[in-house]
Structure 1
């Protein structure tokens, strides 16, 4: 089976610029391709994970990935999918984020012996001569055509700055530079990047008179079409300091029944026959498929040992076991005793903010030692700590051990 057929069977590919030419190219040659990642945070999240799986399948088929970190484009911010202008980051913040993201990528992609590259577009964008750039690159872009792009159309009502209008030119220029330096002939990316990706393909074909291609990847959405990867604490991060392996495991353990097969196909390397078998399970049996999904995805992101710990902690809590060693643990000092539950759960980041904690308490979403909390000012006292810890449950499935230092 060709890599295109594999990607189509697993549900990755949404759109091609040139489907037949792409099929023929990937069947007869080993190519260099790239995917861009803007370093707007110091961790990738699960939305990026699907792009890295896309890259991994291509690499397994013998093609060379370039992970392009957008240290230069992050100075502007991509308007795609945004109703407001993105927050501007400093050069120091961007550099910190770039270094953090590089470390995460090495878990998924093999960079040894030039099998893959990580490059930063700050290397060529930050020192551009603007007049030369506009003369050499801007001349190939039609403003009329740019204004028909979805990433710009939805911003026209709220206001699109000229700063953001340059983003498409810069992303197109990235592809051109990678084509010239590394013979990169294909861009992959999320389907929300379609307009920007077409711009790069067209630029190479016009300026270099050479073939160039793009494929977009489906976005990770549930059966209702809503983006997956949002939790009560925000995004589902790949950094264990931002989303613990246990919380990460629990997210996939609790996906909707209708989403299990899609997630298994996109986010694991299980054979498709097994994916279809697990996806066809019904009622209580589908829970076994969810456990496999949770374990496989957590293993890829955090390693097998952390996946086993998360699985054991989940089974201890929901299967009547007693091993709580791997449940996320937070600590308070003795001086904190006497403070209200709301103060404690916000201070320990069990909830992201006091307002979110207050909302959860009002809705019956916070329990202490199995008892729902109705009063946010209920004092946390030493009697609540049995065997050295107090158990806090947030929502239906998230458990935390609170210990006194």
Structure 2
């Protein structure tokens, strides 16, 4: 497989330095992308450089994933409007461990000739003195050159500290070190990294007398102009299931528009061109079935989480839209249950009262505001219009106890097709 051709048809090339394609055709190359451990998890924006590394390896090249323990102490100013909060060494080490586990889901770290490696720039930067760095690195890149980069220019009016200004030099030195010690000849990243990456190619040329290359992928925006990777509520969509549940993760991809789906299929899946074009054709014939969105959500959810998490997310979606079973509901984790029914009104009932059993009508009309009266609740139950935990209620004289609790905490009531109410044991 030709790496550049693969990226080109997928729309994953924004900028590339001259000679890169020819270099890659000569044989196996070593290339890297960087991930700063400034958070406990990667988010779906990081999936773009991850996919670059995946395609790089699939095309016979050797990928390096740099999890920057040193640069994570500084914080990249690219795309940021203000200074980051500095993290402690302990926080960075914890974040590194988490991110390494996430990267291992995507790249092959076996002992093959083009096996991936995770590298940490703290290993080679921690022992360099400030004076040595200024003499050996700083003299090769002028302030004028560094000021011309967008990551610095965009922050100049608001102000940028020397700490963040120096980030460009640190990243440039990373490329130089990997070039000298790992035979690394190409660095990849998002288009906002172009300035930092080309500073690295310049340092390799000036300090090492060598030739290296840069490749960036476009930064994604949605068809409505909103930032890709944010939920409707404005939260980031994380790869860590404790920060974004598999259900919410699955729903993010399911909710993408018909305009965005073809682009997202090309960038975030490993489906072939023919497979994607077939999905587009079938989708055009039956748009209401959301064939592209289903294929996208399945592929990415399984890769980031697991097949069982994907199946659970599908079942959870069916629960919300009336097709799920009581068995599927009872299997939900508390996190997924709350994600599905976010915003649904709740009432609290003491666990002691539930232990002894609470009359159903009292629960629906007095302990909660689901019904205005016991009579209204009794009539709808008689008509078959009330469900408890996805099972139709037929007996209005029923007593409800703790055996009905989901995750030992919740009972879900449904009135009609779309009206839900949650009783929480407290």
- State TM-score, norm by structure 2: 0.79
User: 1:3-402 counterparts in 2 under 5 A?
Assistant: 3-18=3-18, 21-113=19-111, 115-231=115-231, 232=233, 234-280=235-281, 281-282=283-284, 284-285=287-288, 287-318=290-321, 320-322=323-325, 323-325=328-330, 327-330=332-335, 366-368=343-345, 379-381=347-349, 383=363, 387-388=404-405, 389-391=410-412
1: CA distance between counterparts of 2:304 and 2:339?
22
Give SS of 1:367's match: coil
Is contact 1:140-1:203 (8 Å) kept?
yes
Distance 1:62 1:403, change over 3 A: farther
Deviation, structure 1 residue 315: 2.5
2: CA distance between counterparts of 1:42 and 1:35?
18
Distance 1:330 1:248, change over 3 A: closer
- Name the stretch that deviates more: 260-269 or 378-387: 378-387
Distance 1:328 1:218, change over 3 A: farther
Deviation, structure 1 residue 208: 1.4
- State TM-score, norm by structure 1: 0.83
2: CA distance between counterparts of 1:82 and 1:227?
14
1: CA distance between counterparts of 2:291 and 2:322?
13
Distance 1:218 1:286, change over 3 A: farther
Distance 1:30 1:290, change over 3 A: same
Deviation, structure 1 residue 319: 5.1
Deviations along 1:129-174, one digit per CA (max 9) or x if unpaired, are 1111111111111211211211111111111111111100000000
Larger radius of gyration: 2
Give SS of 2:211's match: coil
Provide structure 2 residue ranges, at least 5 long, that are not aligned to the other structure: 355-362, 365-387, 390-403
Deviation, structure 1 residue 228: 1.3
Distance 1:143 1:286, change over 3 A: farther
TM-align CA RMSD: 2.7
1: CA distance between counterparts of 2:413 and 2:89?
40
Deviations along 1:221-264, one digit per CA (max 9) or x if unpaired, are 21244321112372111111111111111111111121111111
Aligned residues: 362
2: CA distance between counterparts of 1:62 and 1:149?
32
2: CA distance between counterparts of 1:295 and 1:9?
22
Provide structure 1 residue ranges, at least 5 long, that are not aligned to the other structure: 332-347, 352-364, 369-377
Is contact 2:348-2:423 (8 Å) kept?
no
Give SS of 1:87's match: coil
1: CA distance between counterparts of 2:249 and 2:101?
19
Deviations along 1:9-30, one digit per CA (max 9) or x if unpaired, are 0111110022xx2111111210
Is contact 1:191-1:216 (8 Å) kept?
yes
Is contact 2:106-2:303 (8 Å) kept?
yes
Deviation, structure 1 residue 69: 0.7
Distance 1:349 1:318, change over 3 A: closer
